[in-house]
Amino acid sequence: MNFEALGPFVPLILLFVVFYFLLIRPQQQQQKKRKEMLSNLKKGDRVVTIGGMYGIIKEIDDTAIQLRVADNLNLKFARASIDRVINDEAE
């Protein structure tokens, strides 16, 4: 096998490897964490939506979540619109 023919491609291969470890892999790990967080949501969790709305999960199903944002005010959101779960210790 002639390795001299691969010479011009070595910098391109190294660039791809660096690109993978600095950008692609961390993004995949972040998506995995987000998917896990969304699957672990349960009734009573305090959450923040992507739009910045704070609320407590009142009802939950596969695609939608009903949040209680104030007394007698419940809003329905897509499950994917939840940004994060708030811990009581964090406040």
> What contacts 87, CB < 8 A, 6 or more positions away?
none
Please indicate, yes or no, whether residues 34 and 50 belong to a single structural domain of this protein: no
Q: Are residues 49 and 90 in the same domain?
A: yes
Mean pLDDT over 60-81 rounds to 95
Q: Same domain for 83 and 64?
A: yes
pLDDT 10s digits, 36-64 = 999 999 999 999 999 999 999 999 999 99
* Residue ranges making up the domain that contains 51: 42-91
**pTM for this structure?**
0.73
Q: Which residues pair with 51 in a beta bridge?
A: none
Residues in CB range of 78: below 8 A, 6 or more apart: 63, 64, 65
**What's the structural domain count of the chain?**
2
Residues 73, 50 share a domain = yes
Residues 90 and 49 in one domain: yes
